[in-house]
């Protein structure tokens, strides 16, 4: 059933037209008409001064979910027995959000052989840990992981759920959002709280990275967001911190339809870009695959790894595993050196959290200089060798 408009009460003020975030309300013969673009969000009914608009109760029941929901949760993924760094980063951010909302910070961990995981999560900032340790969860499997997490959401009703935009998160979390009948904002680069409405403000690049959009999930709960590794800062480690452990048992019905027979390591080049302290990136300015030898030499001299722009990757000068940016990896090293990189916004979103950015570009107006702490206007084929020889000289001096 759609939105009901009482034509007798309507005064044709058009406030509903302006309020509709989906442009679904249009005035026709001085009366609003609602198109198929309507999501029954209720914004029109909220602004109508005459109470002429009614949104079906079944959908408005979402508001009750918002009123009931409490707590910020982080999904703490476990990969090959280890929790990746993004879990600590999400708990760091989760703590800031939980403090603003004045609620507990929860962590959910699923797997088998999880000894010590709860302690680690308390140390990373969780107040409460929901742990399901069961042989059926030994290997990551979307369907059973999704069933268990969705059940916990239905039972405990968190208002926010954060997860890593990792291969596990990207695979499982959209299914969880669907099962929980809520929204999900993927690859957020900023998360904040609207204290008045208790809404999670989820910021991410949109329209090919040309704008930053802040997205809210006004009524369904939990408000779900994924965040890439190295986007948020991890919190202080609270060694020995204690919290509340909730042991979760699986029901007989919770089982996977598929079975993992074997886990095979990817043969693709494995570049630890996200964890690196030093990243030396080459862009199209390096001129070809041979230009990356110079980039590699500088990376080696500084104990770092080689990054690349999409421009260089698309030109097939280097593999995608090296790509930094919106469709590559997000990095936040101590030192980021950009050689022949123009600084397109899609590149910047993947590296502007770096502590120190050094850019070398022959174009003084290149946008990379807007984010660089140190900018060198010049030919990288002169500047990079000069850097290498200075490094050698300094090392020679001990
Ligand atoms: C949806 C979408 C997603 C994208 N995702 C990504 C992404 O994840 N990562 C990414 O990087 N890009 C991404 N892009 C592409 C992005 O828009 C740019 O096209 C790309 O970053 C440009 O790469 P570049 O800086 O290497 O090349 P260019 O823009 O061609 O810049 C080359 C630079 O090198 C300088 N130069 C040339 N020769 C020299 C020299 N000898 N010495 C010094 N400087 C020199 C030039 O002045 C120039 O500034 C995406 C685009 C879209 C639409």
- Report which ligand 1 atom has the smallest distance to the Cα of 341: 25
Among 229, 247, 265, residue at a domain's last position: 247
Q: What is the CATH number of the domain that holds 243?
A: 3.40.50.620
Q: Measuring CA to CA, how many Å separate 221 from each of 157, 233, 345, 363?
A: 8, 25, 32, 48
75 and 28 in a common domain: no
DSSP category for residue 259: -
Q: Is residue 262 part of a domain?
A: no
Report residue 233 CA to chain centroid gap. 13
- Report which ligand 1 atom has the smallest distance to the Cα of 326: 8
Report residue 141 CA to chain centroid gap. 21
Does the beta carbon of 381 sit less than 6 angstroms from any atom of ligand 1?
A: yes
Among 247, 268, 286, residue at a domain's last position: 247
Does the beta carbon of 341 sit less than 6 angstroms from any atom of ligand 1?
A: yes
43 appears as a binding residue in the annotation: no
Q: What is the CATH number of the domain that holds 17?
A: 3.30.70.20
- Report which ligand 1 atom has the smallest distance to the Cα of 309: 11
Does the beta carbon of 205 sit less than 6 angstroms from any atom of ligand 1?
A: no
DSSP category for residue 273: -
Does the beta carbon of 226 sit less than 6 angstroms from any atom of ligand 1?
A: no
Q: What is the CATH number of the domain that holds 330?
A: 3.40.50.1220
Count of structural domains within the chain: 3
Q: Is residue 8 part of a domain?
A: yes
Q: Is residue 353 part of a domain?
A: yes
155 and 197 in a common domain: yes
Compute the chain's Rg from CA coordinates: 25
Which protein residue has the closest C-alpha to ligand 1 atom 31? 342
150 and 234 in a common domain: yes
Ligand 1 mean position, distance from CA 347 (Å): 7
Range of the domain at 41: 4-55
Does the beta carbon of 109 sit less than 6 angstroms from any atom of ligand 1?
A: no
Does the beta carbon of 208 sit less than 6 angstroms from any atom of ligand 1?
A: yes
pLDDT tens-digit profile, the chain (398 residues): 688 999 999 999 999 999 998 899 999 988 899 998 888 888 899 999 999 999 876 555 555 667 788 999 999 999 888 999 999 999 999 999 999 999 999 999 999 999 999 999 999 999 999 999 999 999 999 999 999 999 999 999 999 999 999 989 999 999 999 999 999 999 999 999 999 999 999 999 888 777 889 999 988 999 999 998 888 989 999 999 999 999 999 999 898 988 888 887 766 567 889 889 999 999 999 999 999 999 999 999 999 999 999 999 999 999 999 999 998 999 999 999 999 999 999 999 999 999 999 999 999 999 999 999 999 999 999 999 999 999 999 888 66
Dihedral angle sign, alpha carbons of residues 253, 221, 215, 333: negative
Looking at residue 64, what is its pLDDT?
65
């Amino acid at each position: 059933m759609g939105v009901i408009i009482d034509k007798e009460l309507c005064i044709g003020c058009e406030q509903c037209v302006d309020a509709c975030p989906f442009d679904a309300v249009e005035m026709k013969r001085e009366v609003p008409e609602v198109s198929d673009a309507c999501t029954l969000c209720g914004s029109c009914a909220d602004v109508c001064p005459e109470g002429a608009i009614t949104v079906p109760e079944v959908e408005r029941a979402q508001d009750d979910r918002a009123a009931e929901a409490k707590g910020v949760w982080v999904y703490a993924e476990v990969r090959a027995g280890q929790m990746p760094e993004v879990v600590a980063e999400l708990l760091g951010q989760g703590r800031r959000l939980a403090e603003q909302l004045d609620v507990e910070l929860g962590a959910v961990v699923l797997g088998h052989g999880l000894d010590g995981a709860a302690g680690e999560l308390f140390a990373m900032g969780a107040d409460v840990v929901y742990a399901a340790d069961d042989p059926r969860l030994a290997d990551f499997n979307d369907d059973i992981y999704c069933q268990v997490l969705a059940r916990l959401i239905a039972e405990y009703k968190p208002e926010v759920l954060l997860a890593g935009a990792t291969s596990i998160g990207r695979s499982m979390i959209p299914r969880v959002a669907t099962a929980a009948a809520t929204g999900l904002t993927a690859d957020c680069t900023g998360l904040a709280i609207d204290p008045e409405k208790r809404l999670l403000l989820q910021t991410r690049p949109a329209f090919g990275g040309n704008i930053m959009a802040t997205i809210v999930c006004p009524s369904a709960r939990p408000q779900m967001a994924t965040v890439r590794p190295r986007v948020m800062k991890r919190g202080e480690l609270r060694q020995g911190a204690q919290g509340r452990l909730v042991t979760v048992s699986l029901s007989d019905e919770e089982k996977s339809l598929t079975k993992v027979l074997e886990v095979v390591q990817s043969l693709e080049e494995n570049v630890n870009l996200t964890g690196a302290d030093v990243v030396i990136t080459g862009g199209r300015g390096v001129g070809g695959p041979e230009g990356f030898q110079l980039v590699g030499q500088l990376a080696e001299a500084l104990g770092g790894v080689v990054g690349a722009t999409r421009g260089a990757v698309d030109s097939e000068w280097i593999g995608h595993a090296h790509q930094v940016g919106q469709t590559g990896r997000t990095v936040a090293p101590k030192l980021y050196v950009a050689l022949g990189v123009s600084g397109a916004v899609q590149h910047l979103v993947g590296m502007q959290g770096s502590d120190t950015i050094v850019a070398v570009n022959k174009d003084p107006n290149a946008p990379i200089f807007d984010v660089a702490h140190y900018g060198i206007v010049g030919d990288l084929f002169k500047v990079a060798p000069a850097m290498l020889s200075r490094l050698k000289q300094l090392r020679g001096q001990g």
